[in-house]
Amino acid sequence: MKQKEYWEKSSDEVVIDNKKKLDEMRRKSINAGDYDYVNENLMNIQYQFVNPDSMPTADYQVFPTHLKNNWDWPVDEYHEEEFLTNGECDLILSKWPNLLDMEEAEYDVTSARVCDIKWVTHYKPNWEWLFDKLHTKLKSINDRFFKLNLTDPVCIESLQFTKYESGGHYKSHLDWKGRSTFSTRKLSFTINLSDPDDYTGGGLKIYPRGYPTKNKGNIIVFPSFIRHEALTVTTGTRYALISWVNGDAFK
């Protein structure tokens, strides 16, 4: 008989949609308390597991990639520091009208993401200075704080130049969900381009309790497996640059 792979679910680990059945199952589960703790606090493996007995542990994962090295990653784990000057932010903002529209806003408040997006490809003419500066900064931050196995030299995906107007947001999500051993995102980052006086609301939340500043020019970096959210802008307009740093698949 073929041995079940460690990520394969048994017949008892299927998703159960019936709330009454779910509540009964959780009451009987010896892992119910751990289940609640994982879903509320350990954002590094945050995933809404319906069956408490099928939740991931340090020895068992539903994903085909082990995360043992990251299991005990502290909550609220992100790093923020000054990066771009006001003049550099203004230079980037001045380029918005001339960039090709790639994804238009979907202004339906029920949508997971409401924003305008334009993409800046790697080493696009007149953007080389920013990619050079990012490579140096991100390598320094990773070496000092996260110590993840990144590509050398640092490989950054295209920059997501994002505009959030009133009602704009991106609901709670992860940038890496362990879907594949070939998934290479390791670090996510956001750069604040707007003056915080130009809008209300907005900003970034790093779950469960992290609220980085909205200071213009600051860069916020965090592991891609940590849940986060672009909070709703209530008035004005917020601009940000967002992207991801690659490396070997998590082990």
What is the structure's pLDDT at 226? 85
The domain of 175 spans: 79-246
- The residue ranking higher by pLDDT, 40 or 171, is 171
| 61 compared with 195, residue with greater pLDDT | 195
Is the domain of 52 the same as that of 97?
no
pLDDT of residue 179: 53
Do residue 115 and residue 235 come from a single domain? yes
Does residue 41 sit in the same domain as residue 160? no
| Domain membership flag for residue 126 | yes
Residue ranges of E strands in the chain: 79-82, 113-114, 116-120, 159-164, 169-173, 185-192, 199-201, 204-206, 218-223, 228-230, 233-236, 238-246
What pLDDT is stored for residue 204 in this prediction? 96
What is d(CA 68, CA 59) in angstroms, rounded to the nearest whole number? 7
C-beta neighbour count of 169 within 10 angstroms: 19
Mean of pLDDT values over 175-189:
74
Contact 236, 200 (CB under 8 A): yes
Same-domain pairing of 43 and 92: no
Q: What is the DSSP letter of 31?
A: T
Whether 21 is in a domain gets the answer yes
In a domain, 128, yes or no: yes
User: Does 97 share its domain with 170?
Assistant: yes
Q: Is residue 69 part of a domain?
A: no
pLDDT in tens, 200-246: 999 999 887 889 999 999 999 998 888 899 999 999 999 999 999 99
Count of structural domains, the chain: 2
The residues facing 239 across adjacent strands are 163
Domain membership of residue 15 (yes or no) is: yes
Residues 122 and 210 placed together within one structural domain of the fold: yes
For 21-61, the pLDDT digits (tens) are: 556 655 555 444 544 544 444 434 444 444 444 444 444 44
Which residues make beta-bridge pairs with 191?
219, 241
The predicted structure's pLDDT at residue 184 = 80
φ, ψ of residue 208 to 5 degrees: the values are -90, -20
Structure tokens at 33: 């308390």
109 and 15 in a common domain: no
Sequence-separated (6 or more) residues with CB below 8 Å from residue 92: 84, 130, 161, 193, 241
> How many Å apart are CA 193 and CA 161, to the nearest integer?
10
Instruction: Verify that 123 and 238 share a domain, yes or no.
Output: yes
Q: For residue 186, what is the domain's CATH number?
A: 2.60.120.620
Whether residues 40 and 89 share a domain: the answer is no
pTM here is 0.72
Q: Is 127 in the same domain as 199?
A: yes
Taking only the tens place, the pLDDT of each residue in 81-132 is: 999 999 999 999 999 999 976 655 555 556 888 999 999 998 889 999 999 9
- Cα dihedral 45, 48, 53, 59 in deg (nearest 10): -10
Q: How many CA atoms lie within 13 A of 113 on its CB side?
A: 12
Same domain, 129 and 171: yes
How far is Cα of residue 147 from the mean position of the Cα atoms in its chain?
18
What pLDDT score does 181 carry? 46
**Span 52-81, mean pLDDT?**
51
Sequence-separated contacts (24+) of 34-42 with Cβ below 8 Å: 40/208, 41/75, 41/208, 42/71, 42/75
The mean-pLDDT minimum among 14-18, 23-27, 100-104, 194-198 falls in 14-18
